[in-house]
Amino acid sequence: MPGKLIDGKAIAEQINAETVAEIARLKEQHGLTPGLAVVLVGDNPASATYVSMKDKMCARLGLHSERVNLPSSTSVGELLAILNDLNFKREIHGILVQSPLPLQISAGNILVAIDPSKDVDGFHPLNVGKVALGDPTGFTPCTPAGVHELLIRSGVATDGAHVVILGRSLLVGRPLSLILSQKTPRANATVTVCHSGSRKLAEICRSADILIAAIGAPHFVKADMVREGAVVIDVGINRIEDKVVEKGYRIVGDVAFDAVAPKASLITPVPGGVGPMTIAMLMHNTLRAAKMRHGIA
Amino acid sequence: MPGKLIDGKAIAEQINAETVAEIARLKEQHGLTPGLAVVLVGDNPASATYVSMKDKMCARLGLHSERVNLPSSTSVGELLAILNDLNFKREIHGILVQSPLPLQISAGNILVAIDPSKDVDGFHPLNVGKVALGDPTGFTPCTPAGVHELLIRSGVATDGAHVVILGRSLLVGRPLSLILSQKTPRANATVTVCHSGSRKLAEICRSADILIAAIGAPHFVKADMVREGAVVIDVGINRIEDKVVEKGYRIVGDVAFDAVAPKASLITPVPGGVGPMTIAMLMHNTLRAAKMRHGIA
């Protein structure tokens, strides 16, 4: 069993170590420190936790970071003005607006207000288009980029393989399908995107060489949806009630791990699988934004 | 047999008739005539034919059209200057640069020089991204938009169905996969994108409720790749030698029509299937560009 676990934490630490080394080089050779601004609107406790994880990771890896905390009553205009300032701020190379936003602010209006060259989350339509077109100047959203790196660094060959992605969200399923179907040596897969309304869902999932669950439903993928020997990547992060633990809940993925793991050749755990990759890719994207801004190869 | 043929020519004429009516309304109520500029670089005879078909269709449907003919020695700078003029020209709502371009001009540099709001071909990364995100202000490339309309107007239900797309080009396969997997009533399909390097290609194709061939290889899809009762859409336009006809060649699709048609519930012929839809959607996109530019619903 331990031999088939993909250790996302260890792979994320490899990437973080590469980021640290590259940041040291940038400082030494170019006097440049990559900077990330994180904007938090309102006081959602989960959002606050995520944002402080990002702050801490910036500090750990040697990035400059700025936090903008705004009240939940912030207007669209106020937020746009702040983003405009950050777009022009020289110390800032990446800008991230933490989701979810309060109801009076439409995410669509905000995403397009971030300079695409600082859009390290990869949500601006221009970056989505660049990823679709295989343009290397685009930013890939951090979670799908993390899944791709997990596959590469675990030695999973995608070339010609059938990847089935459960879930078609703009954050995960859709960009991941675009990445993995590119005509490049580390992609070149046959990719199926399915969803909760797909007919013959179990049959389609069973045809996968690589099954990626990003449907946001706890333990959705059962053993009968997985082929013997498939690689299973679990992107789900779901809270389910658990009275045995002190906080009253625990985090589970979209895959019924205990039942599926015996059939899989490789599988990611939750937590400790895709999760740590997302933040590692955010740091990586910020580093890349800084290098692109200054024309450093 | 005639009952299972999808008549692309007739469906394109329905769309053209709608375009004519809407253009008449725009002229009457707003004094506005949609205008398309087509830029042709060099003297490729096939390109010249396509461009003159577009000119003629503009004239037939009541659009204003302008043709810019440039020598094959045109530099990137010269072409960019012309596009800049067209971007600002008030009579022009849509701009199209005919492919292929001479070797000294990179298509990537040209696509991003067209104002996205005049990019009726839908090739600008911003429009690609908007289509991926389901943003209705984006322009969908004409051939995939035409395939989608063919399906809708032939009464083919995509909701929950398994669509297999053979070919992942930026012109057809990729945008089509994004359109058909959207969470909207007229899409909502399970979509697989496969390609010449896909393993178990025939098996995957046989699992399709709707098989769309856009792989650019004559008669690539054989009968054993099609399930009894599947809908088959043939996007291919291939020239093959034919000494019996005067011009020495004939046009065939990516599907071995004679062998496949008996198994299909519905099938498009080549020619007369997807082909006429592409130009109808170009006219439709130009009309839509004019309306968006002037804020007309």
Chain A: residue nearest B198 by CA?
A160
| pLDDT tens column, A22-48 | 999 999 999 999 999 999 999 999 899
Contact A204 B162 (CB under 8 A): yes
At A228, the pLDDT band (50, 70, 90 cuts) reads very high
B150 touches chain A (CB under 8 A): no
- Please determine, for residue A162, whether its predicted confidence score (pLDDT) is greater than 90: yes
A159 touches chain B (CB under 8 A): yes
Which residues of B are less than 8 Å from A127 in CB distance? 129
- Assess whether B104 carries a catalytic annotation: no
- Assess whether A182 carries a catalytic annotation: no
The DSSP code sequence of A14-60 is: HHHHHHHHHHHHHHHHH----EEEEEEES--HHHHHHHHHHHHHHHH
Chain A: residue nearest B160 by CA?
A198
pLDDT reported for residue A247? 87
Q: Which amino acid is at B271?
A: P
Burial class (CB in 10 A: 0-12, 13-18, 19+), B170: middle
Which residues of B are less than 8 Å from A107 in CB distance? none
ipTM comes to 0.92
pLDDT reported for residue A197? 94
Return the CATH superfamily for domain A30-117. Answer: Leucine Dehydrogenase, chain A, domain 1 (3.40.50.10860)
A34 touches chain B (CB under 8 A): no
Strand order in the sheet with B266-267: A266-267, A231-234, A210-213, A162-166, A190-194, B190-194, B162-166, B210-213, B231-234, B266-267
B170 touches chain A (CB under 8 A): yes
B142-276 maps to which CATH number? 3.40.50.720
Contact B159 A129 (CB under 8 A): no
| pLDDT tens column, A5-15 | 999 999 999 99
Which residues of A are less than 8 Å from B197 in CB distance? 159-160, 188
CA distance B221 to A48: 54
pLDDT reported for residue B10? 98
pLDDT reported for residue A112? 94
Look at residues B140, B164, B139 and name the one whose alpha carbon lies nearest to residue B233.
B164
Which residues of A are less than 8 Å from B174 in CB distance? 132, 178, 181
Domain ranges of chain B: 29-115, 142-276
- Same fold? A30-117, A142-276: yes
What's the gap in Å between the CA of B106 and the closest CA on chain A?
A: 14
For residue B181, give the nearest of A125, A159, A168 by CB distance.
A168
Look at residues A187, A169, A158 and name the one whose alpha carbon lies nearest to residue A237.
A169
Contact A177 B193 (CB under 8 A): yes
CB B283, CB B61: distance < 8 Å: yes
| pLDDT tens column, A260-282 | 999 999 999 999 999 999 999 99
pLDDT reported for residue B3? 73
Active-site choice (A121, A209, A234, A254): A121
Chain A: residue nearest B125 by CA?
A129
Q: How much of chain A exceeds pLDDT 90, in percent?
A: 97
Chain A: residue nearest B129 by CA?
A129
Contact A181 B174 (CB under 8 A): yes
Contact A162 B200 (CB under 8 A): yes
pLDDT reported for residue B247? 87
pLDDT reported for residue A2? 58
Look at residues B159, B160, B130 and name the one whose alpha carbon lies nearest to residue A130.
B130
Query: What number of other Cβ atoms are within 10 A of residue A32's Cβ?
Result: 18
CA distance A239 to A270: 11
Chain B 175-234, CB below 8 Å of chain A: which residues? 177-178, 181, 183, 188, 190-195, 197-200, 204, 207, 209
In chain B (297 residues long), the average pLDDT of successive 10-residue segments reads: 87 98 98 98 93 97 98 97 98 97 93 97 96 94 98 97 97 96 96 96 97 97 98 96 91 97 98 97 98 96
- Assess whether B98 carries a catalytic annotation: yes
Residue showing tokens 């990035």: A63
CA distance A283 to B37: 44
Which residues of A are less than 8 Å from B160 in CB distance? 197-199
Chain A: residue nearest B189 by CA?
A198
pLDDT reported for residue A1? 59
Active-site choice (B85, B89, B119, B121): B121
Contact B130 A130 (CB under 8 A): no
Chain A 43-82, CB below 8 Å of chain B: which residues? none
pLDDT reported for residue B156? 97
What's the gap in Å between the CA of A14 and the closest CA on chain B?
A: 31
CB B12, CB B65: distance < 8 Å: no
- Please determine, for residue A57, whether its predicted confidence score (pLDDT) is greater than 90: yes
pTM: 0.94
Fold for domain B29-115?
Rossmann fold (3.40.50)
